[in-house]
Structure 1
Amino acid sequence: MDSERYLNRFQASSANKPSLQQLSELQRLHMTEVPFENLDVIRRVPIYLNLQSIYEKIVLRNRGGYCYELNGLFHWLLKQLGYDASLIAATVFRPNGKWAKPDTHAAILVRLDEPYLVDVGFGDSTILPIPLNGISQTDVSGTYAVQQAGNDTFELARSRNGESRPLYRFSTIEKQLVDFHEGCVFNQVSPESTFTHVDIVTKATLAGRMTIKDRELTISENGLISSKSLTESEKEAILLDSFGIKI
């Protein structure tokens, strides 16, 4: 796998040494260029936790993926660039107020002067690394903070439009990509998975976020949200023009 080609995929450049500034730039660019998407899941194309096949999909075929693919490959890149980075497991707090299947989300912990939560595979979330010290950070999608919930357990929360809610709970214990096999299978086949029902394609923008869910396009710009229904041909055109994806 070619790390420089991967960096070119999301218009980034390598740095001389790891830094918070460079890490922030890598995360921001990745999230604005590489979409979160479940198109293979809906089309029953198997997803394997194999870095080479993930690299070919995201880098060579200009696709996106879901958390195991996006964070799995981004974790590999960070290690190649000299970062002290670990994959970690998280449990997602769903919009319906219930916790999802435990430890089925993959995220990244990066240790610089202090540990930071990094996640390029959660969809609608922060484009910034978040420190684990409780200090909040704000970007166009909301204000985020990580609070400790136990010895090795933390919770990522977002405040937006006057309302605060957890996004997920995570452990700082290091995982390997293969440890997410059960979650990867579950999220491809289970009717309880968020990703087995309709197409979901989303990426951050400088002003907010662009999302296709089934045949509805939603655009958030500077806090203003607009939605429109799409025909199948309109959907295919937007996937190609705005996300670089040809089905």
Structure 2
Amino acid sequence: MEIEKILNRIGIDKNTIEPTLQNLILLQEAYILNVPYENLDFVFKKEFSVNILKIYEKIVENNRGGICYESNTLFIYLLKTLGFKSKMIFSKVMDITYIGADYPHLALLVEIDNKEYLVDVANGQNVRVPLPLEDENFIAVSENIEYKIKKNNQEYHLMFNHKHKGWQTRYIFTKEEKRVADFSGIFQNQNNYEHFSNHVPLIVTKALKNGRITLTDDMITYKKNNDKRMWGISLENRAEVLRDYFDIEV
């Protein structure tokens, strides 16, 4: 695996990147803008793997996207190789539309100058910048939604506030470190895999600089600034849409 190719995949042509907060912000935004969250392999019942070599082949060499187990695994590999102190964590997502209750969401914690930050490059429409764990006054805005971290004893809540409707929990997590072995067997059981594949709707979504484009089973939603458009697609046109709007060949 070549770090330069991963950086090129996310639109960065630098050869040297120091492990600073400024560069973490750069890397996170670049990944989110270039690598979609997509669950095509589940929907089409293709083989799923959290092996880093297979993830690299899928996302970097084949220009695909991935779910949290794939993208955050690739991203932490990139961060660690560049010298960032980082670890994997599990979180409990409140909205389980696209992931079952038995499937914990994978996210990352990154420590810089003795401060820890929540980093997540694979949760669809979500915060796009690192969030400090111990600063409840820090509020980030992504796609017109406010985000912050709230601590409750040993648990942390990623909070969001959409259109000033009040703060709600996006997901809950702790600082307990997780490893690939903790989730590599999730889809090895064929019964679990079939259950997941049969009940999860298609979603392919990629952030734009000032918006987002999302494909579901039969609909495209395009948002940019205050403009929002939606139009239906047929099953026969799905491959064409993936190619033209997401640069994905399936």
Q: Same fold (TM over 0.5)?
A: yes
The code of the aligned residue for 1:156 comes to L
Q: Which residue of 1 aligns with 2:158?
A: 156
The code of the aligned residue for 2:244 comes to D
Match for residue 215 of structure 1 among 209, 213, 218: 218
Distance in structure 1 (CA, Å) of the matches to 2:85 and 2:75: 13
> Which residues of 2 match residues 70-81 of structure 1 at below 5 A?
70-81=71-82
Distance in structure 2 (CA, Å) of the matches to 1:139 and 1:42: 28
Report the CA distance between 1:14 and its aligned residue. Answer: 4.7
Distance in structure 2 (CA, Å) of the matches to 1:182 and 1:139: 33
Distance in structure 1 (CA, Å) of the matches to 2:224 and 2:192: 31
Counterpart check, 1:189 vs 2:190: no
1:80-106 deviation per Cα after TM superposition (whole angstroms, max 9, x unaligned): 00000101111100178xx96266110
In structure 2, relative to structure 1, the CA distance for the partners of 1:219 and 1:188 (3 Å cut) is: farther
Instruction: Check conservation: 2:204, 2:214, Cα contact below 8 A.
Output: yes
Instruction: Check conservation: 2:50, 2:69, Cα contact below 8 A.
Output: yes
> Which residues of 2 match residues 86-125 of structure 1 at below 5 A?
86-94=87-95, 101=101, 104-113=104-113, 114-125=115-126
Q: Which residue of 2 aligns with 1:20?
A: 21
Provide the identity percentage: 33
Q: Which residue of 2 aligns with 1:38?
A: 39
Counterpart check, 1:47 vs 2:51: no
Distance in structure 2 (CA, Å) of the matches to 1:240 and 1:228: 17
Normalised to the residue count of structure 1, the TM-score between the two structures is 0.90
Q: Which residue of 1 aligns with 2:245?
A: 242
In structure 2, relative to structure 1, the CA distance for the partners of 1:2 and 1:184 (3 Å cut) is: same
| Structure 2 residue matching 1:181: 3-state secondary structure | coil
Distance in structure 1 (CA, Å) of the matches to 2:211 and 2:197: 22
Higher deviation after alignment, 15-24 or 169-178: 15-24
| Structure 1 residue matching 2:241: 3-state secondary structure | helix
Report the CA distance between 1:199 and its aligned residue. Answer: 1.7
Structure 2 unaligned regions, length at least 5: none
In structure 2, relative to structure 1, the CA distance for the partners of 1:15 and 1:73 (3 Å cut) is: same
Distance in structure 1 (CA, Å) of the matches to 2:94 and 2:121: 17
1:14-66 deviation per Cα after TM superposition (whole angstroms, max 9, x unaligned): 54411111111111111111011011111111212210011100001110110
Structure 1 unaligned regions, length at least 5: none
Instruction: Check conservation: 2:32, 2:207, Cα contact below 8 A.
Output: yes
Report the CA distance between 1:235 and its aligned residue. Answer: 2.9
> Which residues of 2 match residues 221-236 of structure 1 at below 5 A?
221-236=224-239
User: Please, what is the CA RMSD of the aligned residues?
Assistant: 2.3
Higher deviation after alignment, 102-111 or 124-133: 102-111
The code of the aligned residue for 1:49 comes to V
Report the CA distance between 1:216 and its aligned residue. Answer: 0.3
| Structure 1 residue matching 2:161: 3-state secondary structure | strand
1:184-210 deviation per Cα after TM superposition (whole angstroms, max 9, x unaligned): 55897264x598433210011111111
Report the CA distance between 1:182 and its aligned residue. Answer: 4.7
Number of equivalent positions: 243
Report the CA distance between 1:162 and its aligned residue. Answer: 1.5
| Structure 1 residue matching 2:205: 3-state secondary structure | strand
| Structure 2 residue matching 1:57: 3-state secondary structure | helix
